[in-house]
Amino acid sequence: MNHSENQWDIEFHPLQPFLPKNAKLLMLGSFPPPKNRWKMDFYYPNYQNDMWRILGLIFFDDRNYFLDIQHKNFKEQIIRDFLHEKGIAIFDTAVQVRRLKGNASDKFLEIVKPTNLQNLLDQIPDCHTIMTTGDKATDTLMLSFTENTEKPQIGQPSQTIFLGRKLNLYRMPSSSRAYPLALEKKSESYRVLFESIGLHTSV
């Protein structure tokens, strides 16, 4: 056992993959934040994370659509219903990690065991687009592919063949507020992705 294994415990993913049978898009982050940051038992549960504000802006022209402002919380059931309706699946690129600083920062996240991508895709046969939210998630996802798969850059998707399935790969700006880009700018980047794969957004 090395020094890091003595000092930091391995953390197992606390959520089940969210995989609507009609999913055309799979969203993959890196790993959930520590439980004390959660406002709901679902993905992007930190109230300071802007993922649900981004999707509110894109699909409803309202950054607060998925938010319970009064209680500084999220409208979890409305989020789940929306994802089912649109065919959007969510999980993360790692199932075991160590937090080297005890916080939610990707910079200090050590990936112990990446997600088994085949297990996810087997359950969502109509999915042909994978979107990663941040650089750590993108780098971890790339471990699932052959060396000649090009890592997608923001605004420049790439394609690969994974077990006979053609996949479009998109790398999106992190929804964390630590990523220095205005909410509206992030939303426009995400809007281009959703429109390109045929998911209706607000005008």
- Mean pLDDT of all residues in 52-64: 97
Q: Which amino acid is at 14?
A: P
| Dihedral sign, Cα of residue 169, residue 173, residue 178, residue 183 | negative
107-145: pLDDT as tens digits: 778 999 999 999 999 999 999 999 999 889 999 999 999
Pick the closest to residue 42 from 92, 106, 115 (CA basis): 92
- The amino acid at 24: K
Do residues 160 and 149 make contact, with C-beta atoms less than 8 angstroms apart? yes
Instruction: Answer whether residue 2 shows pLDDT above 50.
Output: no
Order of all β-strands in the sheet with 88-92: 88-92, 25-29, 129-133, 165-172, 158-162
152 DSSP 8-state letter: P
153 Cα distance to chain centroid:
16
pLDDT at 199: 86
- Cβ-contact 24, 83 below 8 angstroms: no
pLDDT value at position 105?
Answer: 67
Q: What is the pLDDT of residues 180-201, one digit of tens each?
A: 899 999 999 999 999 998 887 7
Distance CA 11, CA 33 (A): 11
Q: End-to-end alpha-carbon separation of the chain, Å?
A: 55
How does residue 39 score in pLDDT terms, banded at 50, 70 and 90?
Answer: very high
Work out the mean pLDDT of the chain and round it to a whole number: 91
- Dihedrals phi, psi of 147, to nearest 5 degrees: -65, -25
| 120, 165 contact by CB (below 8 A) | no
Torsion of CA 17, 167, 137, 75, to 10 degrees: -40
**Nearest of 141, 131, 154, 134 to residue 24 by alpha carbon:** 131
Q: How far apart are CA 186 and CA 192, in angstroms?
A: 10
Name the token pair of 186: 């992030």
Taking the C-alpha atoms of residue 41 and residue 15, their distance in angstroms, rounded to an integer, is: 8
Pairing mode, strands 158-162 and 165-172: antiparallel
Overall average pLDDT of the 76-82 stretch: 98
Instruction: Among 1.10.287.1080, 2.60.120.200, 3.40.50.300, 3.40.470.10, name the CATH number for the domain at 3-196.
Output: 3.40.470.10
